[in-house]
Structure 1
Amino acid sequence: MKVANGVDMLEIGFEAFGRSAAIYPTLIWDEKEAVLVDTGMPGQFPQILEAINNAGVPFEKLKAVILTHQDLDHVGSLPEVIKSSTNPITVYAHELDKPYIEGERPLIKSDPAKMSREEWNVLPEPVKHLYENPPKSKVDETIRNGQELPYFGGIQVIHTPGHTAGHVSLYLKQSKTLLAGDGLIAIDGSLKGPVKQTTLDLKTAVHSLKKLLDYDIESVICYHGGLCNENVKEQIKFLVEQRDEAVFIMR
């Protein structure tokens, strides 16, 4: 789905616990090159390739991958993307998530050593195999808060920890589009805050939302839920105020 000139939201469908779901990596491109933000689950490379082609962008244009964080559904097809490219692919990620992406440490949320025997035993065998053999790939360049990557008029890095320590969001200056990763989700076109069950540090994740208010955002692409492009700033401000109040009450 075209969000702006040179910005395509890729819909990658899959089955989860007997239900259909989708994730939304983003392709950013111009006449010379393309950048992919997040790479789906292991085994989803054929769908990603098809989505890139459907956007009218030759896969050969892909020059970089930016990972918003280390989770399996974001890094899963990265090795296949790199292996399938005839050109060198530069991989970007925050330094706090780098050791997990590179396989120096197990992915935090899918580490068998952190699961009880009961939790492990109920997992399907294919999932167990994934958890025991997670994808890993070299991170070529680490990114930091406030850094501007020199693609397509500037991609601003916003360090938004909480979901993971190295979670980042990305602001596309030309189109005023925010790629929120898992820092926000969208439900029926409306923004919702971080999901408690999958967020490592909810208080920090809520605090990270405040950073987004510094940007002139017209559209948000959420990895889970897709596009929101109505009253974006007002929605984010509301979430910050509501979550601040909730955190205060919890104290």
Structure 2
Amino acid sequence: MRVKANGIEINYEVEGQGPWLVFSHSLACHLGMWYEQAVALRDRYRILRYDTRGHGKTSAPAGPYTLELLADDLLGLLDALGIDRMHFVGISLGGMIGQVFALRHPERLASLTLCDTTSYYPPEAWPMWEERIRVVREKGMEAMVEPTLARWFTDAFRARRHDMMKRIGAMIRATPVEGYIGCCHAIPKIDTRARLKEIRCPTLVIVGEEDAGTPVAMARAIHEAIPGSRLAVISQASHLCNLEQTEAFNRILGDFVDAAA
């Protein structure tokens, strides 16, 4: 389904019954990356999954984008669907959107789950993002498929789950170039460190133990900055821990949201 919000068409899916539980995906994916979580939780929550600006079937206008813009997209979607309060789950870029949204609209959150994400990138990280932008401009998204899969999953999982590599590889490949580049401008500018202490809703921070892109130290920094938050480190998992260790992820997330609800 699609709805117009914040000047773009946003694609989304709703299923289940109960309190609202909203999922925000990573860079170069779409709402399909949360399928396993939707199946596990739709018996007791009303699940909203949506495609971020520049991804999936949502509009992909030329950027650059900002995290504030992406948070405003989420607000527009919630308003369009009449959702006053929600439990929010975001991974990687989705976790950054969640942090910014929580600081701008705290009254809309019943709980916050931040997965494999960061509150800050140092200035020396910017050249890495500039290089990704250059590669995609010159070679398209195909050039990002294999290096991205290598960052997102452990070697053992990639060797064992060719089906998952095909599924996520297809999401990366299909991401609009302008959407990917737009978000690559937003991501390295994140710096919520000074304000995370303002977050008061129940908060869970999840990270894959072997995540090299947003490692455990980054997750721990978020956890230590948000009063009363919980930290869960999932073993034998890298960046997309919801897919690499689905059973453990679903148990941890479900227990947390159930308690918050």
TM class, shorter-length: 0.3 to 0.5
TM-score normalized by the length of structure 1: 0.33
Structure with the bigger percentage of strand: 1
Q: Which is bigger in relative contact order (C-alpha 8 A, separation at least 6)?
A: 2
Larger Rg: 1
Structure with the bigger percentage of helix: 2
TM-score normalized by the length of structure 2: 0.32
